[in-house]
Amino acid sequence: MFNRRDVSIGSHDKTDPSTSLRDGWRLVIVASFLAIASLSFLAPQSGYANGPNVENNVDCMQTLYGKKLNCSANDISLAAVKDIVVLDDGCAFPGDTVTFTANFELLLTAQERHDIGLFLSEDGTDALIGEGTCTAATPLYDPDPPWLDLDGTNDDPDGLIQDTCGDIDASHNPLAPEITLTVVCVDLNHDEKLDLSNCSSWRQPGANELCISPTEAIPGAPSKCRCGTITVDIDVPPATIDVVKTARTNPVTTPPSVDEPGGPVTFDVEITNNGIDPENPLDLNSCIDNQFGDLFDAANPLLSDNSCLTMIKVVGEGDTVTCHFTADVNGNALDSPHNDIVTCSGTDQRVPPNQLTGSDDADVLILDVDPDISVEKEVTPASLPEPGGVFTFTVTVTNDSDAENVTLNSLIDNVYGDLTAATDTTCSVPQTLTKSGGWYSCGFTGEFLGIPGATETDTVTAVATDDEGNEDTATANATVLITNVPSSITVDKTANPTNVDEPGANVTFTVTVTNTSTTDVVTITSLIDSIHGDLTVANETTCSLPQDLAADGGSFSCSFVALVEGNAGDTETDVVTASGVDDDENYPEDALDSATVTIDDVDPAAHLTKTVTKMVVTYVVEVFNDSAVEAVDVDALVDDKFGDLFTLVGVSVNDCNLLDGASIPVGESVSCTFDAEVDTTPHTNTVTGTVSDDDGDEPGNVVTPSPEASATVTFDPPTPPAP
């Protein structure tokens, strides 16, 4: 190694010419030194050796300084590492070593600085206080350009000694000494490039410390330095482990799948130390799943059947360890596939240790499940009395699927249409029905009218879709019934007059039938008097049947005349009974009413006259068949004064009973004779016959109007009594 105190170099040599022997010896030495310098710094390196401006495997900067440094200034810093030539196989893994040559660019931010030093960590630790070793370097001092010497002979009072640590000023900025070094492959920021810890140092102008080697290029004061880490463009492949993650389901599907909304899935994890760093086992310290968390956490609530807790965690070179865990994969078919990544990490046995990381993912398909809804329909009331009315319907739609929410899109009734537009509706769509029983209920009203027993069944159809657009339809119906309201009638019977003088007189009876039903039309089919019989054939009757009576008060009235006879104080009460059928073909309860006529006493009176008071009259009754088609039968002959001629008694002559049922051929007639006493003058009596054809005596077969004839007789009235 050259001793700076024994040599002088080049044009900066200021030796005394009187010492020629020393000068000659010095020149020879100088020539040799320059040859070495040329080989070390100005020409490509041979054997990767550095020149005297670089020293490998030395202490780092603070150790050489001997006291604590704070390196707070920023006058000179390592700005870049350029022109990199890797001299071996490079970095195979973190912790490997690499030998390379490069230009290290030193950047000045001040006017000038002396004795520039650069300290580079060789072992990956801190270049300031590193636990290992550093490479120390200083820029060359000659030739100028590109290098610079600001010290000259001022370093020694005799002007004989040259400072060999390079200097820098603005005109020589930046300087980039070429350095060859071997360093540990460290990637501190995980960008897969070499990270190199470094410190630069300097002295202020005017400082006269002698600096003849890179290890002497230490800071001029505790602050006159700058430390940091620079990225060198040399690849550092990350230390890795191989992680394989697979998924399996029960039952087994290929590929693994679960029906939405999900279910348990077992994941297998396989971790292999792929051995790129020989003889370096891995201490596995972490396996994190991005969906299910820490696989080494016994309290992880997301995991079950987790063998990762107990698996061997020291993995030798080329060895593989495996574990499994079960977790619920939940989601929607739209989220399929479910993907989760497990990342396992560990440290190797290097000092400092490398962090090794590997990841793998596994996919689980989430299969679409069709929506499933149900509908219930209720009606209140279930029935209404005729003629019906307004019913209230309630519709409830339920999501029976445990898979996912569905959207109710429509509610259509086959009778009442779109329920969102129905009468008094509370229905609106769309509606969200949450999974596992979410429901929506709404109501509307609808009118149904009809006869008793009429029903109407209307069906509502609900349509819902899930978020994949799958559709489900459900229906429900409700039936309403019209019930019968019993019909009813009333009868009112009156007599006029209600009193007659003895021995009696004709009384006019009036019958009024009223329909008291609220809904039904009632047809009156029968009016029967307890004394006078069928009122449709009573004396002087106006009653005819059938009669239709409107609901809620419809009525009709008719009358007939009857002779009420008796002694003074007698009464006659006769009851009329009305019967009918309503428009539902149901029979209301018969209605009846009575009327009473009283026979009043007449005071006696007497006088004597002799007059014709009565006479016997012989009547001839002849019935003619006016039909040109068929014979007719005589069914009845009734005299309005003398009664039924077929049964007339108390007379001397009556052969009319012979005509009862007599048949009269076409165009012919039959006759009979009876005698009767007439005691009034003039006296008119009328005979009415009932005649029918041989088809029977039902209505339509009876001659109407009934044939009748009258006869009138007179005689001299009694002479009035004398006054």
Query: Residues 489-518: pLDDT tens digits?
Result: 999 999 999 999 999 999 999 999 999 988
Q: Taking 80 as the threshold, does the pLDDT of residue 652 lie above it?
A: no
Average pLDDT rounded to a whole number, residues 591-607: 84
Average pLDDT rounded to a whole number, residues 181-200: 92
The candidate with the shortest Cα–Cα distance to 689, out of 669, 665, 666, is 669
Average pLDDT rounded to a whole number, residues 46-67: 80
Average pLDDT rounded to a whole number, residues 467-495: 92
Domain positions in the chain: 4-235, 242-367, 373-481, 489-600, 615-713
Same fold for the pair 242-367 and 373-481: yes
| Predicted confidence band of residue 29 (pLDDT cuts 50, 70, 90) | very low
| 187 within 8 A of 234, measured Cβ to Cβ | no
| 324 within 8 A of 246, measured Cβ to Cβ | no
The residue among 632 and 42 whose pLDDT is bigger is: 632
Residue 44, helix vs strand vs coil: coil
Average pLDDT rounded to a whole number, residues 317-344: 90
Burial of 178: CB neighbours in 10 Å, binned 0-12, 13-18, 19+: buried
| Predicted confidence band of residue 130 (pLDDT cuts 50, 70, 90) | confident
Alpha helices for 44-168 (secondary structure H): 61-65
The residue among 342 and 719 whose pLDDT is bigger is: 342
Q: How far is CA 484 from CA 392, 450, 578, 636, in A?
A: 20, 10, 22, 44
Please report the pLDDT score of residue 28 as a whole number.
28
Query: Residues 226-281: pLDDT tens digits?
Result: 999 999 999 998 777 899 999 999 888 899 999 888 889 999 999 998 766 666 78
Window from 20-24, 206-210, 218-222, 641-645 with minimum mean pLDDT: 20-24
Please report the pLDDT score of residue 723 as a whole number.
57
Query: Residues 411-420: pLDDT tens digits?
Result: 999 999 999 9
Q: Taking 60 as the threshold, does the pLDDT of residue 11 lie above it?
A: no
- The rounded percent of the chain whose pLDDT value lies above 70 is 88
What rounded mean pLDDT belongs to the chain? 85
The residue among 12 and 426 whose pLDDT is bigger is: 426
Structurally, what CATH architecture does the domain formed by 489-600 represent? Sandwich (2.60)
Three-state SS sequence of 280-321: CCEEEEEEEECCCEECCCCCCCCCECCHHHCCCCEECCCCEE
Please report the pLDDT score of residue 22 as a whole number.
26
Please report the pLDDT score of residue 278 as a whole number.
66
Q: Taking 50 as the threshold, does the pLDDT of residue 24 lie above it?
A: no
Window from 152-161, 205-214, 263-272, 573-582 with minimum mean pLDDT: 152-161
CATH fold group of domain 615-713: Immunoglobulin-like (2.60.40)
| Predicted confidence band of residue 606 (pLDDT cuts 50, 70, 90) | low
Window from 44-58, 196-210, 551-565 with minimum mean pLDDT: 44-58
**pTM, to two decimals:** 0.46
Query: Residues 616-627: pLDDT tens digits?
Result: 889 899 999 898
Structurally, what CATH architecture does the domain formed by 242-367 represent? Sandwich (2.60)
| 374 within 8 A of 474, measured Cβ to Cβ | yes
Q: Taking 50 as the threshold, does the pLDDT of residue 697 lie above it?
A: yes
The candidate with the shortest Cα–Cα distance to 277, out of 344, 229, 348, 215, is 348
Please report the pLDDT score of residue 696 as a whole number.
63
Which parts of 348-496 are beta strand (E)? 355-367, 373-380, 383-385, 388-399, 406-413, 417-418, 431-433, 439-449, 455-465, 471-483, 489-496
Q: Show the tokens assigned to 655.
A: 């052969």
Window from 10-19, 434-443, 655-664, 673-682 with minimum mean pLDDT: 10-19
CA distance 691 to 707: 8
Query: Residues 334-385: pLDDT tens digits?
Result: 878 999 999 999 888 776 677 788 899 999 998 888 899 999 999 999 999 9
Please report the pLDDT score of residue 26 as a whole number.
27
Q: Taking 70 as the threshold, does the pLDDT of residue 21 lie above it?
A: no
Average pLDDT rounded to a whole number, residues 514-529: 92
Window from 203-212, 281-290, 370-379, 381-390 with minimum mean pLDDT: 203-212
Average pLDDT rounded to a whole number, residues 669-688: 89
Q: Taking 90 as the threshold, does the pLDDT of residue 719 lie above it?
A: no
- Pairing state between β 282-289 and 338-347: antiparallel
The residue among 135 and 355 whose pLDDT is bigger is: 135
Burial of 547: CB neighbours in 10 Å, binned 0-12, 13-18, 19+: buried
- Pairing state between β 489-496 and 455-465: unpaired
- The rounded percent of the chain whose pLDDT value lies above 90 is 57
CATH fold group of domain 373-481: Immunoglobulin-like (2.60.40)
| Predicted confidence band of residue 172 (pLDDT cuts 50, 70, 90) | very high
